[in-house]
Amino acid sequence: MQFKDIIGQRSLINNLTEIIDSGRVSHAQLFLGPNGYGSLSLALAYAQYLNCQNRQHFDDPSQHDGLRADSCGECPHCKKYQQLMHTDLHLYFPNATTKRITKEPSCAEFQSEFREFLLGNSGYGTPDEWFTALGIEQKQGIINTRDANDIVRTMGLTAYEAPYKVYIVWMMEKMNVQAANKLLKALEEPTPNTVFLLVSESKDKLLSTIISRAQLVQVGKIDNESIAKAFAAQVEQERLAAFAAAAEGDYLKAKQNLQRTEFDEQFGQMFVEWMRQLFKLNMASLSAWIENFATLGREQQKQFLLYAMNALRACFLRTTAGVQLDYLLRFGDEKFNASFPNFITANNIALLDEAFNSTIFAIERNAYGKIAMMQLSFNVSKALKKR
């Protein structure tokens, strides 16, 4: 990964390349900050720059996306680093037993999965996403003593080909205490040209002895402008600034918000269509709508029902208190948006809430979705007439 692929963080990156260029490379560094700020991506790009044979220096950073320098991306080391396949790059991360590895798991067993995970998200990922990629159900993993032993064993060997041998430990806080104590020994007696890049979201969960032996690289929030730029193709121009601000400097949060918006649009259109069917009560088209609903997964069915219930409550607030919650109702046409909320009043909001809650309860307990939705449709239709 090159620095140019990283979202924002320009002044931090420029500090890091300056330090490397001056030859003052500390043998242990702690990249500290949330995954969504890019701490792991920074460590990966740092390691590549460290080993690049043809570092690029730019006289005018403003012509190079704010960077004063970057790795070349083309020398033999860069090429291997881009694939995360360099023999002198060692990756450590939380792991656990899986369907394939049923006992004594270790990072060595999951190298190709982890590379694929990183290449797929440019280093911006959460432990949960990683465990999902591994197919670990219980979503727990640690960096264990087998991993620490592996580090101690291989660090004694000289680098094969690169100037620096690099160990990246992602989610250092997931290393158990015995393993961390072994690693501590390694940090105390560094071998020449071996660099440890520890990546962590939380300083509080690390041994103080580890922290004291590593140079701190504090990774701060990403600036709004850079987040806006990263999502310019996916978010409408007029909404972009607010969208970027809502991410609070966190790329992963922005990504989540984007997914939620996409869901809302799909749900919003479904909701309007459903309510129209309930006024018409044409059995054929209502059945078709329910068939479509049934294609959603169970969790999504539940999410839709929660969405619809919130939309109805929003209508109620608009009718009774004049509260504007257009966000939930911007998917209908003007006529629908103007007239539909008036159907939700004090006479039926409790009935509607009850009908939705019992359907959600039923779907959570594996009720047959189509029948539950038909029943709910009739109940809602009845309630709408009681306004």
Residue 57's H or E segment, with its range, is strand 56-57
For position 71 contacting Zn ion by CB under 5 A, the verdict is: yes
Which of the 8 DSSP states describes residue 164? S
- Per DSSP, the chain holds a count of helices (H) and strands (E) of 16, 7
- Cα 264 to chain centroid distance, Å, stands at 19
Q: Which is nearer to Zn ion, 13 or 32 (CB)?
A: 13
**Shortest Å distance, C-beta 28 to Zn ion:** 24
For position 72 contacting Zn ion by CB under 5 A, the verdict is: yes
Binding mask 153-172 for Zn ion (x = CB under 5 A): --------------------
- What number of chain residues touch Zn ion (CB under 5 A)? 6
Binding mask 33-52 for Zn ion (x = CB under 5 A): -------------------x
For position 258 contacting Zn ion by CB under 5 A, the verdict is: no
Nearest partner of 377 among 310, 311, 282, 303, judged by Cα: 282
**Shortest Å distance, C-beta 49 to Zn ion:** 8
**Shortest Å distance, C-beta 48 to Zn ion:** 7
For position 75 contacting Zn ion by CB under 5 A, the verdict is: yes
Per CB under 5 A, which region of 63-71, 97-105, 279-287, 326-334 contacts Zn ion?
63-71
Per CB under 5 A, which region of 38-46, 65-73, 235-243, 339-347 contacts Zn ion?
65-73
For position 148 contacting Zn ion by CB under 5 A, the verdict is: no
With CB under 5 A as the contact rule, the residue among 44, 69, 78, 329 that binds Zn ion is 78
**Shortest Å distance, C-beta 259 to Zn ion:** 35
**Shortest Å distance, C-beta 70 to Zn ion:** 9
Q: List, in sequence order, every residue forming a beta bridge with 29; answer none if it has no partner.
A: 197, 215
The b/e string for 57-92 (b: 16+ C-beta within 10 A; e otherwise) is eeeeeeebebbbbbbbbebebbebbbebebebbbbb
Q: Which is nearer to Zn ion, 69 or 314 (CB)?
A: 69
**Shortest Å distance, C-beta 156 to Zn ion:** 27
**Shortest Å distance, C-beta 101 to Zn ion:** 34
Q: Which is nearer to Zn ion, 83 or 208 (CB)?
A: 83
- Separation between Cα atoms, residue 91 and residue 93, nearest integer Å: 7
Q: Which residues contact 30 (CB under 8 A, 6 or more apart)?
A: 172, 198, 199, 200, 203, 206, 210, 211, 214, 215, 216, 217
- Separation between Cα atoms, residue 342 and residue 366, nearest integer Å: 34
- Separation between Cα atoms, residue 114 and residue 147, nearest integer Å: 15
Q: Which is nearer to Zn ion, 75 or 142 (CB)?
A: 75
**Shortest Å distance, C-beta 119 to Zn ion:** 18
| Three-class SS state of 367 | coil
Burial class for 291, CB neighbours closer than 10 Å (0-12, 13-18, 19+) = exposed
The torsion of the CA quartet 326, 329, 334, 335, rounded to 10 degrees, works out to -120
For position 1 contacting Zn ion by CB under 5 A, the verdict is: no
User: Applying CB under 5 A, which residues contact Zn ion?
Assistant: 52, 54, 71-72, 75, 78
